[in-house]
Every structure is written in structure tokens, then in C-alpha cells.
Structure 1
Amino acid sequence: MRLGFSLPSLSKFSPIFSHYNPVQPISSSSSTSLKTQTPLFLRPPTHSTTLSHLQKWQNWAKTLASSVTSTDNGPDTTLLLRELNWLIEDALVNPKSILPQLGNEDMVVTLRAELKDLYVLWKQRIEERRPFQYVVGCEHWRDLVLSVEEGVLIPRPETELVVDLVSDVVEGNEELRDGLWADLGTGSGALAIGIGRVLRTCGRVVATDLSPVAVEVASYNVQRYNLQDKIEIKLGSWFEPLKDFEGELAGLVSNPPYIPSEHISGLQAEVAKHEPRLALDGGANGMDDLLHLCRGTASMLKPGGFFAFETNGEKQCKFLVDYMKNELKGGFCDVDIVSDFAAASIMKHSILPSSHWESCYRPFLAANGEFGHCHPHQQAIGITMTVASFTEAYLRLLMKQLTRILVLTSRGRSKRRKRERERERKRERERERGRRRLRSVADRRASASVASAMPLLAMPLLVASAIADRRLCHRRSPRPPPPPPAH
């Protein structure tokens, strides 16, 4: 597989990148000041640079991403540019505050990594096809942000369905909700943390992994979500750390290796060269670990227990169903094949070689260990196993999703109508208060007008009273008679 690109000149970025040789490749083990276990967005902002230098680096990174031409269905320019924006957002302390200052090239911006480290990381992403999740040290999965690094499998979106299956099965089943669950081959701890959050205050989870790096990363993620009292991480291969819990598990989940050994080299470079082969290689036909899980789970689950694990397509699922039906009689019942609807995304990203696209939808195999009062590992006569067809499983899940959408829509409409009624009542109260204020102001103005007009109204009365009094005085004191004429 080849990845062709042309490197732009770095002379215009001097002195920032003048001490780097753009021709010499940088190995994935190149030492930087970054700790890959801690996600980039959680690292302390102890570095700074000017906005002009950051923009020059961004322009160089865009040019490098735009010059990539992949021949193995690898990431295209659009995806790389989107990843570049995510890298900048994780490296900056507050990206939104910089937007109004884009014209101020001398402004100092705070970074969570040195600019030269970002240069090295982006070259590793382009030249060595290092997965972007390893570059930034995290992966967004469900509502979690999980730390990942080399040696730990990057959790895929399609694996989220395992947590949904567990959420459905524990709903209304107090025995499963309060029981002990196990996640075998936990990797980053994604399934264990997802199930731990589904169980809430009930139950416990034990997660195992053979890789010390995976155990360390999973423990870090568990502590970050404050679930160390609920989830226990153990180092060991599959069921070995769970010997003390034989026949006591309420549920078991796993995302085991299931890719045939000869197909590993045909995977994307991001997967084949960087992700741990221990988490990918399932043996000659990809069935080694799947069969081991089927055999061991029957003795680990208690009656009525539940388990689900991911497989590599319908062909593997049908083989496992037949194996459980004929070789493990009495061990399981109610076996369902559930599609994760990941066919489009898997084909798009070429997780499998092109010659195996017909089995790319990677269904899950879920089974319930309950059959009457028989222990799961006991042989039972006359046990029946119902295998739902792919179409039936698809329709059931589709109807469930549609029902959920209708319920959420109905709830949303009810809440919207309630909010509208509340707003209308509030507006009516405001209008009533306004009318009261207007009436109060009008009353005060009328009173003030009457009070100011009282002297003017009283003036004619006073004048009339004075005239009347004067007339009365004249009547009481008549004018004296004129003196007699003089002789």
C-alpha cells in the first residue's frame, strides 16, 4: 500500500520549523514532550505562541493534508482537514476566544502542547498513517471520551450496540441488574465503563485483558469517570482472572479478535501497522478466540445469565450458532444474531479487505443461558434454540428505534405545548400587571389634577361670598340721612 504526497517548503515558516528535516521520516516512537496516555485536551496549558505562527503552522498542515493521495481506501483530504481542526481545538485552551482576534497576528495564544510537537504529530499522521486517536490520545465513544494509546485497540462505534443490548436486558430484570458482569479483553475499558454506567448504583463489573498497557489505560479511564469502586480491572487471559466467579456471572460481554491472520496485512495502514495485533488476529480462520469464549462462557454464567460478543459477519455467526447448538447442547437458548448497521461505515473505511466486503456488517451473537432450572453447563435433553434471521432482527431493531423516536417526538410535543401554555399565561399576567399600572397612574394623575384645580374652583365661591357679605353689611348699617340744607 502506498501513500503519495508532496511536502511544501518550510523555509517560510522559519524559525519555527527550520531545525526539522522534512525528508527524514519520523518514527512512531519519536519522543515528544507529550504523554500519550493523557488526552491532549486534558493536558495543562503550559505553552504559548503567537497567532501568526499558529496560522502559518495551520496553513502548512492544510497544504500537507491536501496533497495526500491514498491507494488503499485510506483517509481522504476532507477527513484529514476535519481531523486537523479537531487537533487545533484540542491543543488550544479556548478556541472560540481567538476568532475575534484573527487580525491581531501578535496576539499570544496558549497551547497544551508546543508547536513543534504538533508538527511532529501531524507528520506522523500523514507520513506514517498513525491513527488520529493516537495522535490526540483519546477517542469519543458514546457519551465518553476515552484515553487510548499504542498497544490499545481503538473502540469502534459499532461496538456501542453491546452496551445497548445490556441496557435492554437489565431493564426490568433486577437479578441481572444487581449481578456481577464481566468484560473480557477490555482494551481501553469502553464496554466495562459503558455497562457500569448502565447499571448505575447496582451491580459490579470485572474487566480482564492480557496486555499490561491495556490494563493501565483501562484503569486510567475508570478512575477518570470515578468508577473504581464499581469496576475492577484484572490482568490475565480471558477467563483466568475469573476463576473465583465460576457460575456466578450475571452477564458477560466481549469484543474479541476475529480477523483471520492472513487478512491482517490487507487492513488499512492505520489498523495493520499501529493497532495491536493481539486485539485483531483471531487465528487461521478468525474463530480461535470466539470458540474459546463460547466454551468458557457456559460454565461462567449463572442460570438466566446473558452474554454478547462481536463477530466478523454472518458467516462466523452462523457457524457459532451451529456450534453452540450441536457441540454445547443444553448450554444456551434464545440465541439471536443482531446486526449493528455498520455495513456502510465499515465498507467505507475498508476495515476488511475488499474481497470480504460481502460479510462486513459484523453482527453480534447474543445468548441467554437460561433453560428451565438447568445450570448453563449441564446437558439438557430437548432444548430448543431459536435463531432469529437477519431480516427479523433488523425489523425488530428498526421498529424499536421507530417506537423510541415516536415516543420522544410525542414527549417533545407535549413539553412544547406545556411551554407554550406557560408562556401564554406569563404574557397574560404581564398584560394584567400593565393594565393595573396604567389604571394606577391614571388615578394618581386625576387626583393630582383635581387637587391642583381646587383653588381655581374655590375662587368664584370666595368672591361671591365676599360680595354677599358686603351687601349684608350695607343692609345692617344703612347710610345716614343727608344733612339738612343750610339756610
Structure 2
Amino acid sequence: MTAISAETSRIAARALAADDLAARGIEGAALEARILVEEALGVTATDLALRGAEPVGREGAERLGAYLARRAAGEPVARIIGAWEFWGLPFGLSSDTLVPRPDTETLVEAALGLGLGPDAPHRLADLGTGSGCILVALLTEWPQAVGLGIDRSPGACVTARANAARNGVADRAAFAVGDWASALSGPFDVVVANPPYIASEVIAGLSGEVRDHDPRLALDGGGDGLDAYRTILAQVPRLLAPGGHLLVEIGYDQEAALRQLAAVHGLAARVRRDLAGHPRVVAMTAEPGS
């Protein structure tokens, strides 16, 4: 790794960092370098552009060097800086939460595409809320809605609560430790979930950035990856308001299984694909007369 000294300019440090990451085969090296430099120096993109000739200083050089060493060891940028963006909003992370991923924005899009009035007082539930990113994103889009986030991890609930405050929706969001929807009474207009859906035996073969840094509790879906869905579909239908909706994120190869589970529980299912064309979200509603 190229040494970055106290005298190195901000702009040169960014270039050196990008070169180092690129040499390690890291995709998006330029973007990751900019993020790490900004975080290490405590500056914004504007500062970097307008005052790029200023030296990074001793503390900045040491901090950036430590960040680059962690990235070289396989730690994701989001874990290094402890935050990530989702739906254009900032979210803090912890060891108890997944890093929000762009594919999960498909779940938010699917909920907004249900045709519900944007200013109606919807009641939402987010099962396995993690960082709270799905619930918070929906609350920012539905200003009269209220929501409850449930997670088995107390640490995740603490992180989600802080993210709700960070994004100005804390007065409409509550978070509680629980086992999916087992303790809920409803009714809810929309229930969303991004549950663990990776088969247990597959986890060892995941990339190190996921396997070694994401909480296993949020990844492991059991022997066939469907354990959480079975539980959710057994619990949620009774909680839905008339015309209510259940939306879940799925793995690319789970569409058929989720359609079958939905039918067993009297729910009609529609699938929404992500930008790569993969099945990503199953939206379910109660069949008439069920």
C-alpha cells in the first residue's frame, strides 16, 4: 500500500487510495476511495473538490491508512464508516444489522406501487427490521403513516430507533424485540419483511464481505432458505386489515416456493423484479372470500 503522509494533499490521497484499492481488484475503487477519504478527514465532497490541495495532516493520514488496511483485509466500506445510504437517506449500522443493499429498494418501490393513498394514515409493520431502512423509507414517503419495527436482536432495535430519529420519523415509528409477528395483534395495512433467505449450507461459500461481516442471524434461512417465510406466512394473514398487503424480499430462485406458500395461506401473489431482472419481491393480498 502506498504510504500517505501528513503532507499528502487531500486530492493526492484520494488518488493514491483509489490506485491501491484498484490494484487489489476492488470494484468501484474510485468511489470507495472518495468515501474513505471524506470519512477519515471529516470533510464533504465539496470540501474535497474546493480545498483538495490542503494536506491531510498527521491524524488524517493515520486514520486513512487504518481504513485502507481494513478494506484490504476484506472489510466492506459500509462497515468501516459505520453507515450507508438507502433510498437517498443516511443510515447508521451496527454489528447487528445488514448493510442496506440497492436490491432491497425494490421492496420499497413495490409498497409504494400498491396504489395506496400517500397521505392516508397507514399502519405498517416491518418484520426483521434490522437498521430500520425499509420502515423509515416508507414513513418518509407516507407522511401520515405510523409503523412498528420488530427484530429478534435488541441491538438492531437500538440502531433502527436511532435511524428513525436521524431521518425525522421517530415520532411515527416504534421498535420492539420480538419473534417475527408472534406478539402482534394488528390490524396492519402493509407488512413488509426482508427475512434471512439463504440456505444454511450456502453461507460458507458467500463472499467474505458478507459471510464474515454480516450477522448470521440475518442471513441464515434454514435448510432450504424458507424457514422465516413459513413462520411469517403462518402469522401475518390474521393481522392484515381488509385489503391489506404482505410484501417480502426473496432470493432469485425462490419465486415458485413463495407463490406456493402464499396459495396455501389464501393469499394472491404478484412478483416484482429488480433492476437485474431477477424476482426480488413477492407482494401478497388476501383472496376474496378467504
Whether the TM-score (by the shorter chain) exceeds 0.5 is yes
Deviations 1:184-205 (A, max 9, x none): 00111111101111221x2310
Q: Can you list the C-alpha shifts for 1:318-345, whole angstroms capped at 9, x where unaligned? A: 12222332x32xx323x212212335xx
Deviation of the 1:223 alpha carbon: 0.6
Q: Which residue of 2 aligns with 1:341?
A: 275
> Between the two proteins, what is the percent identity of the paired residues?
26
Aligned to 1:237: 179
Q: 2:93 aligns with which of 148, 156, 162?
A: 148
Q: CA deviation at 1:57?
A: 4.9
| Structure 1 portions without partners, runs of 5+ | 1-6, 17-49, 70-74, 344-360, 373-379, 381-487
Q: Which has the larger radius of gyration?
A: 1
Of the two structures, which has the highest relative contact order with CA contacts closer than 8 Å and spacing of 6 or more? 2
1:305 to 1:97, Cα distance in 2 relative to 1, 3 A: closer
The structure with the largest helix share of the pair is: 1
Aligned partner of 2:222: which letter? Answer: G
Once structures 1 and 2 are overlaid, which stretch shifts more, 212-221 or 315-324? 315-324
Residue deviations 1:423-453 (CA, integer Å, cap 9, x gap): xxxxxxxxxxxxxxxxxxxxxxxxxxxxxxx
Question: Any residues of structure 2 matched to 1:430-445 within 5 Å, and which?
Answer: none
For these two proteins, the number of residue pairs brought into alignment is 289
Structure 1 residues 237 and 115, CA gap change in structure 2 (3 angstroms)? farther
Specify whether residues 284 and 145 from structure 1 end up closer, same or farther in structure 2 by C-alpha distance, changes over 3 A only: same
**Structure 2 residue aligned with 1:320:** 258
Taking the aligned partners of 1:311 and 1:300, their CA distance within structure 2 comes to: 21
| 1:312/1:65 CA distance change after superposition, 3 Å | same
The answer to whether the aligner puts 1:136 opposite 2:86 as a matched pair is: no
Measured after TM superposition, the shift of residue 54 of structure 1 is 4.9
Structure-2 change in CA distance of 1:109 and 1:56 (3 Å): closer
Q: Is contact 2:19–2:29 with CA below 8 Å preserved after alignment?
A: no
- Structure 1's 305 and 264: CA in aligned 2 closer, same or farther, altered over 3 A? same
Shift of 1:88: 1.7
2:216 aligned with 1:270, yes or no? no
Match of 1:296 in 2: 235
Q: Go from structure 1 to structure 2 and tell me whether the alpha carbon gap of 1:119 and 1:196 turns closer, same or farther (over 3 Å shift).
A: same
- Could you tell me how far 1:58 is from its partner in structure 2? 4.5
Aligned equivalents of 1:300, 1:98: Cα separation in 2: 50
The question of whether the paired residues in 2 share the 8 Å contact of 1:141 and 1:156 is answered with yes
- Give the counterpart of 2:224 among 282, 285, 288: 285
Counterpart residue number, 2:282:
365
Are 2:125 and 2:147, in contact at CA under 8 Å, matched by a contact in 1? yes
Rounded Cα–Cα distance in structure 2 between residues aligned with 1:99 and 1:198: 32
CA contact (8 A) 2:131 2:163 kept: yes
- CA–CA separation in structure 2 for the residues paired with 1:196 and 1:153: 20
Aligned to 2:106: 161
TM (normalized to structure 2)?
A: 0.88
> Matched residues in 2 for 1:209 and 1:96: separation?
37
- For residues 83-94 of structure 1, the aligned pairs below 5 Å read 83-90=32-39, 91-94=41-44
**Partners of 2:11 and 2:52 within 8 A in 1:** no
* SS at 1:233 equivalent: strand
Please say if residues 93 and 159 of structure 2, whose CA atoms lie closer than 8 Å, have aligned partners that are also in contact: yes
**Cα offset, 1:171, TM superposition:** 3.1
Q: Which residue matches 1:20?
A: none
Q: 1:270 to 1:52 in 2, by over 3 A?
A: same
For 2:280 and 2:38, locate their aligned partners in 1 and report how far apart those are by CA, in whole Å. Answer: 35
1:375 equivalent in structure 2: none
Secondary structure at the counterpart of residue 240 of structure 1: coil
Determine if contact 1:254/1:308 at 8 Å carries over to the other structure: yes
Structure with more of its chain in strand, by fraction: 2
Cα separation, 1, equivalents of 2:65 and 2:194? 34
CA-atom RMSD, angstroms? Answer: 2.6
In the superposition, the TM-score normalised over structure 1's length comes to 0.54
